[in-house]
Structure 1
């Protein structure tokens, strides 16, 4: 590879880094605009909508325009999905704490079932955003499909969890990356893995234009 080739490679790399940084900043800003509680889920869906395009090879899309359009169109439904997931997560946590602190040995064993349920819950949360931007379903159908894929594609589910952990390790080693590429990097990794697990025969109708 000649000098000119190296220059172009460096240009492509810097261009990708800038896109990742822009997407991450948009994710943080729009989460804050929605007061975090109402902004996190639609902002995260918007971020996944952008990375989905990248995974499909559409690398020249307008990041800001795609993000904002998805944020607005997904605001209500993603907050509804987020509310359901938050309630389920709180319910599982309370149950786990109860079974772990109970004095009855038989009941304490039930905590293992709750831990398993929390594992499934965590995997569903990882899948819900790729699922949302890839398919067009009713609200509860997204949860149902995510559970089916989590249980039906165990290898991909493990890859999603391991991928999330590796991103966490990288960010932990370089904390400054939290502001710059933490969310965008995680969404890119998860979207790429999720696309491998989605049924190939299904038409991608969930794309938000």
Structure 2
């Protein structure tokens, strides 16, 4: 490895660390700007948008602050609706799981609730990547697309859950990583696999349409 290559790689690594830390600060600032309750989900969605630009379009030189603030403002209420709808449903399911385990104690009901809860975790992983990729008028379509993409991209979906478990361990062992880079690391990891799943689903859809056209011809 020559000296210029070594310097270039070090500069790229330093820029990556700086960008991740910047995103951590933006998430915190814009969450507080919306009094956390209204600011958190738009800030998360804006972070996914930045990751989308980096990973899908390779736009590494975008101005993060500008991209973040524009997407945050333009999608403020839509991101809140999606985020709180998902969170509310997940909390209800978590409550049902606790009641089922402690009071009903039916293995069948408990298993069904666990499966439904896992599906909601899957929706949670894909919903914001789908949100930044597509522009739908109906919130239901975002959830439907997230479900179908998550199911049709099982390797990526499993990888997301494994990544979440690994990052949980890392954050537990090295708290300062979570403090300075936690949110963008998690969102970046989810984005990497989720966007792969989305592009895979799109390719399968195109292939199916091409096959249908061939049969017609």
Separation (CA, whole Å) in 1 of partners of 2:101 and 2:147: 26
Match of 1:200 among 191, 199, 202: 202
Who is 1:169 aligned against?
A: 169
Shift of 1:149: 1.7
- Equivalence for 1:206: none
Structure-to-structure mapping, 1:42-53, within 5 angstroms? 42-53=42-53
Match of 1:91 in 2: 92
Does residue 5 of structure 2 align to residue 5 of structure 1?
yes
Length-normalised TM-score, structure 1: 0.90
Mapping 1:10-49, distance limit 5 Å: 10-49=10-49
Aligned to 1:114: 113
Kindly provide the CA deviation profile for residues 26-82 of structure 1, in whole angstroms up to 9, marking residues without a partner as x: 011111221211111100000000011110211010000000111111110011111
Determine which structure has the larger helix proportion and give its number.
Answer: 2
Q: Which stretch shifts more, 186-195 or 149-158?
A: 149-158
Contact 2:150–2:197, Cα closer than 8 Å, also in 1? no
The answer to which structure, 1 or 2, has the higher relative contact order (CA under 8 A, 6+ apart) is 1
Q: Please give the per-residue CA displacement for 1:1-46, whole angstroms capped at 9, x wherever unaligned.
A: 1222211211111011101110111011111221211111100000
Q: How many Å apart are 1:152 and its aligned residue? A: 2.3
1:108 CA displacement: 4.7
Aligned to 2:60: 59
**In 1, distance between residues paired with 2:113 and 2:21?**
37
Q: How many residues align?
A: 201
Runs of 4+ in 1 over 6 A off after TM superposition: none
CA distance in 2, matches of 1:4, 1:67: 33
Alpha-carbon contact 1:131-1:146 (below 8 Å) kept = yes
Q: Distance in 1 between matches of 2:78 and 2:146?
A: 16
Q: TM-score scaled by structure 2?
A: 0.87
- Give the corresponding residue for 2:129: 130
The runs of 5 or more residues in structure 2 that have no matched partner are 207-217
CA RMSD after TM alignment? 1.7
Asked if 2 retains the 8 angstrom alpha-carbon contact of 1:25 and 1:179, the reply is no
